[in-house]
Amino acid sequence: MTHHCSTGIIFLGPPGSGKGTQAQLLAESYELSHISTGDILRRSIVEKTPLGLQAQNYVERGELVPDQLLLDLINEALQNNNSPSGWILDGFPRTVVQASFLDELLKKFSQTSVYVVNLEVPEDVLLERLLLRGRQDDTAEIIRRRLEVYHNQTAPVLDYYQSKGELHRVNGDRQLEEITSSLKELIAA
């Protein structure tokens, strides 16, 4: 990481890949703001904000919240970011529409070196981890739907970054510390 430049990490990976945990750890190590769209949405739902009321139905069913709501959300989150070191996006982008919007938005952040990282974990391991996690949207049926939604709508985001030559792939089926080390090596390189 250079000093004059801030860092942006775009964390991709299916539900249960551990990206939330790793994002949290990296955010602490590098003083980056951890922007989790899932956390923001869950908080908005609890607080019954206009965003929360619009998003609730989708989140509870394991469907993606409509792009327009997320575009407004991420725009605001990045504008309001107050960490000079940078940010980590956890859970965004999840569609190609969101990814190309983000590209446009990031053109305004010319001082930020952006890393796009996918945490790769086999499907059976994901299922096992999600069933153990026990979040409200972690019932067997909704988990199945979230993985399906991931394959249909979010996997194309990997191709989007891959074809731009920007995708870094990290094996997420290892000990937590080993994954963190790989991620740190990547960012330091």
CB of residue 80 to ligand AMP, shortest distance in Å: 17
Cβ closer to ligand AMP: 34 or 94? Answer: 94
CB of residue 2 to ligand AMP, shortest distance in Å: 29
CB of residue 61 to ligand AMP, shortest distance in Å: 8
Cβ-Cβ contacts under 8 Å for 121 (sequence gap 6 or more): 13, 14, 16, 17, 18, 129, 172, 173
Cβ closer to ligand AMP: 22 or 98? Answer: 98
Strand boundaries in 63-188, DSSP class E: 86-90, 112-120, 167-171
Strand boundaries in 3-111, DSSP class E: 6-12, 33-36, 86-90
Cβ closer to ligand AMP: 123 or 185? Answer: 123
Rounded to 5 degrees, what angle do the CA atoms 180, 186, 189 make? 135
Cβ closer to ligand AMP: 15 or 172? Answer: 15
- Which residues would be at the binding site for ligand AMP (CB under 6 A)? 15, 37-38, 41, 58-59, 62-65, 70, 91-92, 94, 98, 146
Does a cis peptide bond (omega within 30 degrees of 0) precede residue 93?
yes
